Amino acid sequence: MKIIKLTKLLISALTLCLTACGSDDSFTVLATVDGLGTQNVRAVYRSAGRVNVLPSMALDGKFQFSGNAPQPALIELYTGSRALIGSLVVRNGETVEVTYKLNEPGTMSAKGSKISEQIARFRTANAEALNSGNIEAVNKAVEQYVSGNRDNAAAPYIVLTMYDQALDPVMADSLLSMIDPKVRPAGDLVSSYRESLALGLDTLSVFSPLELYTTGDSVTTVAPRGARGVLLAFSALNADEPHDSLVRRLNAVHDSLKKRVRVVELSIVGDTGVWNAQIDSIKPRYTRCWEPGGISSPALGRIAVRRLPWYVAADSTGAIVYAGDELAGAVEKL
């Protein structure tokens, strides 16, 4: 009994220290997720242009992690099967306590980060629309929030994480323009989002390097290099075309063009539990990738994917020579 009490005291003391003692060169997040149970989890965020993955273990829905983000960073939390738990914003010097409820995006509370606290209040106020997946209602709520909170540092993150740009890309760009430049996130988060909006209305021109997840939870850089171009195929496992058929066709392209083109398939799935479980009778001879957040993620913000499947071809100079839904058309340009 004394050992149990002592252990509880030590845990309480550690939590109190983490909450009270923030470090200027790191941040700490203490998370509680109702319905999560005990499983591996991970936090994914971008800082200084790079992807950072912080693994952790949830015990009875509780876990914690620390990282480095000199500027406010948007962090997405994922279950062991890569289902999205929720997101928050944190920077060095902050210790944030955050709570979520699994599969209920409208349930969130936060303490220790003013931006995350504002985001949590917005989610709570619009829980019904968020939990039901009413996209139109969520977009309207975001528009009203930004209109009345242009100088609020949470406003750009609310747009980036909750506004469905596919419904109205013009309004999405207008919302970002309405926000005071002083509170817009620094770095590539907003710029890539705005580029995706512009490309959704215009045409692609230049292929920028992408850091994407590949098998084994490793990260690979996809970019034209040397004399090799890139063929990037966006796919969905539940598409009309059987995945084996797509693998067969991409293998053929890889075999015929591998000396001058790198073939990459990027699966658009909700989590990699589904992706990793996919068993193809034909083994891919090219690179298969996945990206947290799918086609709306900052990493893919420069590419406007209008439907699936979708193919983007870039020559060795990085110039995009094709973007469309025909694989033959992409190959012809390469």
- Tell me the per-residue pLDDT of 108-117, one tens digit each, with 9 for 90 and over: 999 999 999 9
**Contact status, residue 115 vs residue 153, Cβ threshold 8 Å:** yes
CA dihedral 166, 169, 174, 176 (to 10 degrees): 50
pLDDT tens, position by position, 23-57: 688 999 999 999 999 999 988 887 776 778 888 99
Q: How many CB atoms lie within 10 A of CB 58?
A: 21
Taking the C-alpha atoms of residue 149 and residue 152, their distance in angstroms, rounded to an integer, is 5
**Contact status, residue 142 vs residue 162, Cβ threshold 8 Å:** yes
- Return the SS3 of 163: coil
Q: What are the two backbone dihedrals, phi and then psi, of residue 156, each rounded to the nearest 5 degrees?
A: -65, -35
Q: Residue written as tokens 């139109």?
A: 136
Q: Give me the domains of the chain, ranges plus CATH numbers.
A: 22-133 (2.60.40.1120), 134-202 (no CATH), 210-333 (3.40.30.10)
pLDDT tens, position by position, 180-209: 988 887 655 555 454 444 444 344 466 778
3-state helix, strand, coil in the chain (%, to 5): 35, 30, 35
Q: What are the two backbone dihedrals, phi and then psi, of residue 157, each rounded to the nearest 5 degrees?
A: -70, -35
**Contact status, residue 145 vs residue 122, Cβ threshold 8 Å:** yes
| Residue 33 β-bridge partners | 100
The pTM for the full model equals 0.58
Handedness of CA 164, 168, 172, 178 (dihedral sign): negative
In this prediction, what percent of the chain has a pLDDT beyond 90? 35
Mean residue pLDDT across the chain: 80
**Chain length of the chain:** 334
Is residue 294 over pLDDT 70? no
| Residue 57 β-bridge partners | 40
Average pLDDT of the residues in 76-98: 89
| Range scoring the smallest mean pLDDT among 10-14, 46-50, 66-70, 91-95 | 10-14
Taking the C-alpha atoms of residue 124 and residue 115, their distance in angstroms, rounded to an integer, is 14
| Range scoring the smallest mean pLDDT among 163-172, 280-289, 309-318 | 163-172
Contacts of 104 (CB under 8 A, 6+ apart): 127, 130, 131
Handedness of CA 76, 79, 83, 85 (dihedral sign): negative
